[in-house]
């Protein structure tokens, strides 16, 4: 099988087949199978340590899988650095702790990827960056440094930074978990806007309100396996699996 | 102090016992019985030392006289410095050519001072440095434009010190950074080489490296082939300093959070881009204080080249003191030298503090 295959119209944008992952002896992810269609929004929930973050981190190869296949937009993730860099440029990621570059201004944080990876001219990159800053309602902070912004503002900058790479897919790894309660909404609002525009999103979160209003599919993971997935209506009102019921009863 | 302007409440001034000079003295000098004791003892010691020193250095001293005049006074004979300044600073540089090393030093200083402002770190500056260095080298060595050739064994005094320390620092820094990256490398060969190099160099004193470079190294060269002695000392200093810089930089790299690497990875930056744009700018900034410590000691350690018979500014001072007219005034001569070293070191450390402040971005 070749690494890159011609993409057909109805091919899933992410396809994971029989994926396993170990940390040393520990079997973190077991037999993960997942297909994500273009424009689909998936919320992944589950108890801590269930492997949900690890799974989405495998999709842009921040974590390496040991068995099975991950194909992103027609490119299979292998040890080939070219493929890894290609996938990473197409997949945006938002982290729990923002991970902005503290020594660069907000604007420089946003233009770095486009200038160095996409080879966009600086001027054009700055225009695009300002457009996305506008979109996350933070354009007036462009000249500041990340350390001068609140957590919620930093996370919105982080979202804008990913968007500047014009990604096909956005991964969110607990984007609101490190935020003070009054800042969660401003970040979720940005994510809801993004969802409305048709972005393909995989979101690991404990925000069940967000899941109910935005997700096409909610997925419950436990002990490294996908236990249950369904549309939000059925997932919350009629969970099939015992472990899902227990989890929902604990958090709702 | 600036009070925040909130109209709904009133701000009171702090009580007088907490601010003002008297409160400061009480808080800092006499806050406990043992601090009061220390304050009194220190004041006593200062009263005992300072006035006699002041009398010796400034009142009963001579500043520019013959050595004979100095025999009749109690105080300091600073005259040793101006009377011998040419030899102390320039050493054995040939008569009539002194303007050349002086001009070279001025050029170097001018370049350093010009480069202080970060706003001037442009492409133009990147060209000015190599051109400036070539001009300096030409001035020192000569052989063109009617300047007679001055072999490197006649380079001595302050120009030699400045050259050894300046190039030592400038070349050792990037080499040290590369070694630090090498030590973190996932490639076993590069990692092993870096570790072996760093640990070997750090395991020997600089003196032994200088000895090896001047005495042992030529034994391994084929007959008739020689490598310039100054150059060999220079290489030894660079190699030595680089190993220490490498360890300091490694500390900075380890202080970087995983999230920074992951964020760079998730944007699709490759390894050299990640290092150059994300990791090194932050890591090198963290380690400015210890790096400056190493650069300062490298600067001062250049005086060790004396043991391989190079005449740096310390050695030319010593030679001056061997002159029968001027023996016995070593305190004055060494104080002058100490001042010279202090000015250079203080300039470096205060510049580093300024740089640190400028690079601080509020995190």
Give A202-231 pLDDT, tens digit per residue.
999 989 999 999 999 999 999 999 999 999
pLDDT at B363: 57
Residue A6: pLDDT band (50, 70, 90) is: low
Give A108-136 pLDDT, tens digit per residue.
999 999 999 999 999 999 999 999 999 99
Q: What CATH number is associated with residue B294?
A: 1.10.3720.10
Task: Let me know if residue B70 belongs to a domain.
Answer: no
Rg (chain B; Cα; Å): 27
Cα(A63)–Cα(A86) distance, rounded to whole angstroms?
16
Give B319-337 pLDDT, tens digit per residue.
888 888 888 888 888 989 9
Q: Are residues B116 and B213 in the same domain?
A: no
Question: Rounded mean pLDDT of B69-83?
Answer: 79
Higher pLDDT, A249 or B148: A249
Q: Are residues B105 and B143 in the same domain?
A: yes
Decide which of B117, B132, B149 is a domain's last residue. Answer: B149
Q: Are residues B197 and B275 in the same domain?
A: yes
Q: Quick count: other Cβ atoms within 10 Å of Cβ A59?
A: 24
Decide which of B131, B149, B167 is a domain's last residue. Answer: B149
Chain A residue with CA closest to B273: the answer is A116
Task: Let me know if residue B13 belongs to a domain.
Answer: no
State the distance between the two ends of chain A, measured CA to CA, in whole angstroms: 45
pLDDT at B76: 78
Residue B241: pLDDT band (50, 70, 90) is: very high
Secondary structure string (H, E, C) spanning B147-203: CCCCCHHHCCHHHHHHHHHHHHHHHHHHHHHHHHHHHHCCCHHHHHHHHHHHHHHHC
Give B278-300 pLDDT, tens digit per residue.
999 999 988 988 998 888 888 88
Q: How many domains does chain B have?
A: 2
Cα(B80)–Cα(B333) distance, rounded to whole angstroms?
7
Against a cut of 0.80, is the pTM above it?
yes
Task: Using the predicted structure, report yes or no on whether residue A7 has a pLDDT greater than 80.
Answer: no
Q: Are residues B186 and B326 in the same domain?
A: yes
pLDDT at A112: 94
Decide which of B130, B149, B168 is a domain's last residue. Answer: B149
Q: Are residues B239 and B142 in the same domain?
A: no
Place of tokens 């490296």: B209
How many residues would you count in chain A? 252
User: Would you tell me the crossing angle of helices A151-163 and B258-267 to the nearest 10 degrees?
Assistant: 30
Task: Let me know if residue B165 belongs to a domain.
Answer: yes
Task: Let me know if residue B128 belongs to a domain.
Answer: yes
Q: Are residues B127 and B210 in the same domain?
A: no
Considering only CB atoms, which residues of chain A are within 8 Å of chain B?
A: 60-62, 81, 85-86, 88-89, 91-93, 95, 97, 99-103, 112-113, 116-117, 145-148, 161-162, 165
Chain B residue with CA closest to A83: the answer is B268
Minimal Cβ distance to B262: which of A89, A92, A95: A95
Phi first, then psi: give them for residue B144, nearest 5 degrees: -130, 165
Chain A residue with CA closest to B358: the answer is A103
Identify all chain A residues contacting B282, using CB atoms and an 8 Å cutoff: 101-103
pLDDT at A1: 43
Q: Are residues B126 and B204 in the same domain?
A: no
Helix (H, G, I), strand (E, B) or coil at A15: strand
Q: Do A92 and B266 touch (CB under 8 A)?
A: yes
Q: Are residues B101 and B212 in the same domain?
A: no
Domain membership of residue B138 as a residue range: 94-149
Q: Considering chain B, what is the average pLDDT of its residues?
A: 85
Q: Are residues B235 and B139 in the same domain?
A: no
Task: Let me know if residue B298 belongs to a domain.
Answer: yes
Task: Using the predicted structure, report yes or no on whether residue A57 has a pLDDT greater than 70.
Answer: yes
Q: Are residues B200 and B106 in the same domain?
A: no
Q: Are residues B220 and B345 in the same domain?
A: yes
Task: Let me know if residue B23 belongs to a domain.
Answer: no
Q: Are residues B169 and B233 in the same domain?
A: yes
Cα(B101)–Cα(B216) distance, rounded to whole angstroms?
31
């Amino acid at each position: 099988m070749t690494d890159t295959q011609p993409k057909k119209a109805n091919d899933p944008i992410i396809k994971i087949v029989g994926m396993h992952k170990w940390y040393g002896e520990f079997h973190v992810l077991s037999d993960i199978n997942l297909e994500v269609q273009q424009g689909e929004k998936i919320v992944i929930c589950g108890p801590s340590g269930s492997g949900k973050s690890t799974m989405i981190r495998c999709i842009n190869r921040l974590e390496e899988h040991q068995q099975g296949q991950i194909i992103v937009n027609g490119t299979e993730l292998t040890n080939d650095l070219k493929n890894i860099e290609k996938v990473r440029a197409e997949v945006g990621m938002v982290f729990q702790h923002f991970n902005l570059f503290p020594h660069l201004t907000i604007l420089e944080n946003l233009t770095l990827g486009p200038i160095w990876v996409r080879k966009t001219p600086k001027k054009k990159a700055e225009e695009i960056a300002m457009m996305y800053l506008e979109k996350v309602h933070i354009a007036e902070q462009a000249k500041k440094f990340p350390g001068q912004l609140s957590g919620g503002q930093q996370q919105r900058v982080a979202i804008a930074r990913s968007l500047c790479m014009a990604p096909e897919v956005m991964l969110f790894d607990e984007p609101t978990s490190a935020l003070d309660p009054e800042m969660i909404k401003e970040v979720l609002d940005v994510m809801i806007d993004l969802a409305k525009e048709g972005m393909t999103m995989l979101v690991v979160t404990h925000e069940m309100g967000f899941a109910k209003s935005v997700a096409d599919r909610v997925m419950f993971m436990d002990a490294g396996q996908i236990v249950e997935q369904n549309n939000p209506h059925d997932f919350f009102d009629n969970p099939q699996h015992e472990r899902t019921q227990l989890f929902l009863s604990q958090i709702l | 102090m600036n009070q925040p302007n909130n109209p709904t409440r009133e701000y009171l001034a702090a009580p007088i016992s907490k601010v003002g000079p008297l409160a400061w003295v009480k808080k800092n000098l006499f806050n406990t019985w043992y601090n009061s004791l220390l304050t009194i003892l220190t004041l006593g010691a200062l009263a005992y030392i300072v006035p006699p020193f002041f009398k010796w250095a400034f009142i009963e001293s001579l500043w520019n006289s013959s050595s004979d005049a100095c025999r009749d006074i109690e105080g300091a004979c600073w005259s040793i410095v101006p009377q011998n300044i040419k030899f102390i600073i320039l050493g054995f540089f040939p008569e009539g050519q002194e303007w050349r090393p002086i001009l070279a030093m001025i050029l170097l200083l001018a370049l350093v001072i010009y480069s202080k402002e970060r706003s001037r770190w442009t492409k133009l500056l990147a060209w000015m440095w190599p051109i400036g260095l070539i001009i300096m080298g030409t001035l020192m060595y000569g052989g063109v434009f009617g300047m007679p050739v001055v072999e490197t064994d006649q380079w001595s005094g302050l120009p030699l010190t400045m050259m050894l320390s300046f190039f030592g620092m400038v070349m050792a820094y990037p080499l040290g950074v590369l070694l630090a990256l090498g030590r973190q490398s996932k490639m076993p060969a590069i990692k092993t080489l870096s570790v072996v190099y760093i640990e070997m160099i750090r395991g020997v004193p600089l003196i032994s490296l200088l000895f090896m470079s001047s005495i042992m190294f030529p034994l391994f060269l084929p007959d008739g082939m020689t490598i310039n002695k100054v150059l060999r000392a220079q290489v030894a200093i660079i190699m030595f300093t680089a190993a220490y810089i490498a360890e300091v930089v490694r500390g900075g790299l380890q202080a970087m959070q995983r999230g920074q690497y992951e964020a760079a990875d998730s944007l699709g930056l490759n390894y050299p881009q990640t290092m150059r744009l994300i990791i090194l700018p932050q890591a090198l900034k963290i380690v400015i204080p210890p790096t400056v410590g190493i650069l300062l000691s490298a600067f001062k350690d250049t005086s060790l080249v004396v043991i391989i018979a190079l005449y740096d500014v310390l050695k030319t001072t010593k030679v001056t003191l061997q002159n029968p007219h001027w023996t016995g005034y070593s305190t004055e001569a060494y104080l002058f030298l100490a001042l010279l070293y202090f000015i250079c070191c203080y300039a470096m450390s205060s510049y580093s503090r300024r740089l640190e402040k400028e690079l601080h971005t509020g995190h």
